[in-house]
Each structure stands twice: as structure tokens, then as C-alpha cells.
């Protein structure tokens, strides 16, 4: 094979940005859309309670505000926003389809034409600007009707409904969308089962058993979607999607090293199944030793084996540390959902997410070594508070710094031999934060005038990072 002289990102590299329907679209009850789990996650102090599944009613509660209901109104403003992405030179845009726009109750007889038409128009708009759509099939939002009727992904029934949903959207968009991902951050079902699986626990239930059974249902559903995609659109690329981030042993004590490996394997488990096609030995051991009994149907194992993914997509925000020493374990950094021990070598964001560009290179290499498949970094970025100056400018040098250092390490990974398809920084326009529900935790290159209380004109304006990213894309990552 001829060696290429060109070092750095391939010419076809997909620079872009990433969004999720529930965090940007708003219009939560327009166009025939059904209610979803995320539409029940309020802003403010009760958010975490609900996200962890402590809910009394599957209806919005009076007196609470729900950030997903309006979000940044991308539903009505997507043309304006996509034009701005086009101006930055985006090669791709990662969005998600809201299941409840297509099947408002998740299992309706016929799909909702208004919902299908909405995404047709959105994809057409992207293609008009030379932007390749990259689509997450399920980014956390699960129709509430499926939670009411079946208890969310704890039920095997959802596999069939999801399969029908995927067959519907594949048939409809097969000429517009090539890159698909079956579930956003599939491992999140272990950490936030209400968000990742639409699961509400009853008193005294064995949560671990339920979570892993639900994970099995999603893994089977993901394999069925992959199978359907191969039938309906043989040229498509189907990916899994992992909330990644390497775990370092806090010390060189072998106990810490084993602990770090175990922690990472909690996450790799999902990708081992989706990419290698079978439950790994360490997972079987964990199930055995924790009396977890995964109920499989005949044919499940073959299905998983025969329908592995084409590429590995992942989000990367920070790294974590592991230890078995109780004293070290007391040094926790907040880190919201995935709390971790503070790493003395790293700084952290205002929300306690530890900033570790080199960890991205390590993560890329680890995933490449492990799966030998193309990788797609579909989320990365810095959530920060932005200040609008008197003249309207927003000088987000901290964001530029964060992204620059991560892109440098991506380049190192490419030099290491990692096959990288693309890079879509998270929240390329300011959107609702998933974990906090806030607007003030911003990631965008484009500012949206809206505050935590919901006030603002929703007007869009370019931040300093907009111009930086435009140049980064134009030079294919050579000028940072």
C-alpha cells in the first residue's frame, strides 16, 4: 500500500457541529408531536430528581418550567441557523430525530406525516448548503406513551416499536442521510435510566437487573436497526454512540489500575456488543456474581453477532480517575452525572468537568486499538458562561482554547494511525444543557439571546469562536 505524504486530517474530514432535537427544537406540542420523557424534566432544583427517575406523574406539573418546551425554537428557525452553519463552512451537522414527532405515541399505526415532512425540510436545507446530515435516531427522547403503557425500555415490546420507527425513517430519508447512530450515549442508561431508557423505578426493585435488561433491549433494537439499514440503504454507515472518556488509575497501585479498567469496561460493554457482536466475558462474570439474569429471546445472540456497526461514534468532554483508597475517593469533583475523583493535573470547567485534551488522544487510540473501526467524535466542547459586551461582541477565548487543544490532540491521534471520520463539537449553537436544563451553560459558536428564566429575544449572534472555527474548517485544521 502506498504511503501518503500528507500528514493531518484527510481531505474528506467531516467538520461540523452537533445538536439534539430535545435540546434545540422546542415546539414540543406542535406538528402532532407527542410528549417525551425530556418534556417532563423541569428547570431548576427538581431536574436531577426527575432525571434520576423520581417522578410522581408522567405529566408536566403546574408551577414548573420545562426547558425543552421552547428550547431555542430551532423548529421554526432552522433555516436561519443552518445558513449560519453553512457560513462557517460546516461539512456536516449532527441532529436527532424526535421519535415522538414521527410516532407521537411510539407505536401508532401510521407515522405522522407532519413530523416526517419537518425533517425532510431540515435535511433539504442542510443539503442546499452542502452540509451532510448525521442523524441520531434516539437522543434521549422517548415517547411518554411508551413509558405509561410499557415502562419504557424495561419492556421488550419497545424493540419492535423502535424497529418500525427506524424502518420508517430509513425508507423516507435514505437518499438524504448516509450517517446514522442508533442511540445517543447508550451507556447513559446505567447512569440516568429515566433519560436513557424512560424508566421509573418502583419501590424495592432490583435497579441493576432492570437497567441491564433494558440495555439488552436497546442492544437488540440497535442490531435490528443495523439490519434494516443494510436492507433499505446498503450505502449507509451505521454507528453506535458512547459517552466516552478514559479512566486513569489514580495511582500505580495495581488495585487502582484494575479499578480503572473495571470502570471503563462498564462503558465499553455496550460497544463490545455493538461492535464485536457478543457479550464480553467480564460482563458475564459481573452478571453471574451480581445475580443478574438477562432474559434473551431465541435468535438474539445471532442477531447481535451478525449486525455489528460500521463506525464508533462517541462524546468526549473529560477524563476520570479511579481508586479503591477511601481517602482518595473522598476527593470528588462534581462533574454532574459522572462524578469522579479530582485529578490534580487538570483544571475543570465551572461545572466541574475536568479539561483534558490529551485524554481525547488516549481515548481515540484506545477505541481504535479495541475495535479497529473508523471513529467519529460527535460531541466535545466547553460549557461556559458567556458575557455579551456593550458592543454586542462575545469574546469566548476560553472556548477557542479548549477546542484548539482538543483538535491538536485529534491530529496527534490521526498521526498515531487512528481513522477519524469527523468532528462535531457539541451545541454548535447555544442550546439547553441536558444535565442542568440551563441556558447559561453554553457551548455554541453562535449565541442565543435567552436566559435561564426563559427571557430573551432568541436572536442569534456570532461569537469570536465562530470566526475561529470557520478558519479551522477552511484550513482543514492546519491553522488553529
Q: Which is nearer to ligand BGP, 184 or 424 (CB)?
A: 184
Distance CA 364, CA 314 (A): 9
Distance of CA 38 to the CA centre of its chain: 14
Q: Is 121 a catalytic residue?
A: no
Q: Which is nearer to ligand BGP, 199 or 428 (CB)?
A: 428
Q: Does 243 bind ligand BGP (CB under 6 A)?
A: yes
Distance CA 157, CA 208 (A): 20
Indicate which single residue of 36, 323, 433, 472 sits in contact with ligand BGP (rule: CB under 6 A).
Answer: 433
Distance CA 99, CA 76 (A): 18
Q: Which residues contact 103 (CB under 8 A, 6 or more apart)?
A: 34, 111, 112, 143, 161, 164, 165, 168
- The helix (run of H) or strand (run of E) holding residue 214 is helix 207-232
Q: Which is nearer to ligand BGP, 55 or 186 (CB)?
A: 186
Q: Does 25 bind ligand BGP (CB under 6 A)?
A: no
Number of other residues whose CB lies within 10 A of the CB of residue 270: 25
Q: Does 184 bind ligand BGP (CB under 6 A)?
A: yes
- Which residue reads 415490546 in cell numbers? 157
- Of 196-204, 207-215, 281-289, 435-443, the segment contacting ligand BGP by CB under 6 A is 435-443
Task: Please list every residue from 2 through 21 that binds ligand BGP, using CB under 6 A.
Answer: 20
Q: Where are the beta strands (DSSP E) in 324-450?
A: 332-333, 340-341, 347-348, 354-355, 375-379, 420-423, 446-448
Indicate which single residue of 435, 463, 472, 477 sits in contact with ligand BGP (rule: CB under 6 A).
Answer: 435
Indicate which single residue of 441, 450, 460, 463 sits in contact with ligand BGP (rule: CB under 6 A).
Answer: 441
Q: Which residues contact 302 (CB under 8 A, 6 or more apart)?
A: none
Q: Does 318 bind ligand BGP (CB under 6 A)?
A: no
Min separation Cβ 286 and ligand BGP, Å? 23
The active-site residue out of 107, 125, 379, 438 is 379
- Which residue reads 461540523 in cell numbers? 16
- Of 76-84, 327-335, 434-442, 466-474, the segment contacting ligand BGP by CB under 6 A is 434-442
Q: Which grid cell is 390?
A: 456593550
Indicate which single residue of 36, 226, 307, 315 sits in contact with ligand BGP (rule: CB under 6 A).
Answer: 315
Distance CA 137, CA 56 (A): 28
Q: Does 247 bind ligand BGP (CB under 6 A)?
A: no
Q: Does 185 bind ligand BGP (CB under 6 A)?
A: yes
Task: Please list every residue from 345 through 384 that binds ligand BGP, using CB under 6 A.
Answer: 379, 383
Residue numbers at the binding site for ligand BGP (CB under 6 A): 20, 23, 184-185, 243, 315, 379, 383, 426, 433-436, 441
Residues forming the active site: 379
Amino acid at each position: 500500500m502506498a504511503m501518503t505524504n500528507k500528514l493531518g486530517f484527510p481531505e474528506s474530514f467531516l467538520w461540523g457541529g452537533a445538536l439534539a432535537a430535545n435540546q434545540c427544537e422546542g415546539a414540543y406540542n406542535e406538528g402532532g408531536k407527542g410528549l417525551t420523557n425530556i418534556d417532563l424534566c423541569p428547570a431548576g432544583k427538581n431536574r436531577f430528581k426527575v432525571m434520576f427517575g423520581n417522578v410522581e406523574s408522567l405529566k408536566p406539573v403546574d408551577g414548573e418550567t420545562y426547558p425543552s418546551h421552547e428550547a431555542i425554537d430551532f423548529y421554526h428557525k432552522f433555516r436561519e441557523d443552518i445558513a449560519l452553519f453553512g457560513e462557517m463552512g460546516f461539512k456536516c451537522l449532527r441532529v436527532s430525530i424526535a421519535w415522538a414527532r414521527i410516532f407521537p405515541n411510539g407505536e401508532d399505526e401510521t407515522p405522522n406525516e407532519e413530523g416526517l415532512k419537518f425533517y425532510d425540510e431540515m435535511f433539504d436545507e442542510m443539503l442546499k448548503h452542502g452540509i451532510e446530515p448525521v442523524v441520531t435516531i434516539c437522543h434521549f427522547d422517548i415517547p411518554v406513551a411508551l413509558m405509561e403503557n410499557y415502562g419504557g425500555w424495561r419492556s421488550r415490546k419497545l424493540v419492535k416499536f423502535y424497529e418500525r420507527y427506524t424502518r420508517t425513517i430509513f425508507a423516507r430519508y435514505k437518499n438524504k442521510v448516509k450517517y446514522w447512530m442508533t442511540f445517543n450515549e447508550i451507556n447513559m442508561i446505567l447512569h440516568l435510566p429515566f433519560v436513557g431508557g424512560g424508566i421509573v423505578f418502583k419501590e424495592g426493585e432490583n435497579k441493576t437487573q432492570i437497567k441491564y435488561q433494558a440495555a439488552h433491549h436497546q442492544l437488540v433494537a440497535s442490531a435490528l436497526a443495523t439490519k434494516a439499514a443494510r436492507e433499505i440503504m446498503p450505502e449507509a454507515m451505521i454507528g453506535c454512540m458512547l459517552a466516552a472518556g478514559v479512566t486513569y488509575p489514580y495511582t500505580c497501585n495495581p488495585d487502582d489500575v484494575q479499578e480503572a479498567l473495571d470502570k471503563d469496561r462498564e462503558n465499553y460493554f455496550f460497544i463490545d456488543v455493538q461492535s464485536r457482536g457478543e457479550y464480553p466475558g467480564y460482563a458475564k462474570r459481573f452478571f453471574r456474581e451480581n445475580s443478574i439474569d438477562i432474559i434473551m429471546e431465541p435468535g438474539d445472540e445471532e442477531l447481535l453477532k451478525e449486525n455489528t456497526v460500521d463506525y464508533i461514534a462517541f462524546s468526549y468532554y473529560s477524563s476520570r480517575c479511579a481508586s479503591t483508597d477511601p481517602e482518595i475517593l473522598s476527593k470528588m469533583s462534581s462533574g454532574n452525572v459522572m462524578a469522579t475523583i479530582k485529578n490534580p493535573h487538570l483544571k475543570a470547567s465551572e461545572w466541574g468537568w475536568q479539561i483534558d485534551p490529551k485524554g481525547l488522544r488516549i481515548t481515540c487510540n484506545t477505541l481504535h486499538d479495541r475495535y479497529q473501526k473508523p471513529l467519529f467524535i460527535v460531541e466535545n466542547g466547553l460549557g461556559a458562561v458567556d458575557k455579551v459586551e456593550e458592543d454586542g461582541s462575545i469574546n469566548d477565548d476560553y472556548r477557542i482554547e479548549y477546542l484548539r487543544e482538543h483538535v491538536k490532540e485529534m491530529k496527534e491521534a490521526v498521526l498515531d494511525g487512528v481513522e477519524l471520520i469527523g468532528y462535531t463539537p457539541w451545541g454548535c449553537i447555544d442550546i439547553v444543557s441536558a444535565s442542568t436544563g440551563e441556558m447559561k451553560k453554553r457551548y455554541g459558536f453562535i449565541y442565543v439571546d435567552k436566559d435561564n428564566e426563559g427571557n430573551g429575544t432568541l436572536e442569534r449572534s456570532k461569537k469570536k469562536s465562530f470566526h475561529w472555527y470557520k478558519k479551522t474548517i477552511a484550513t482543514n485544521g492546519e491553522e488553529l
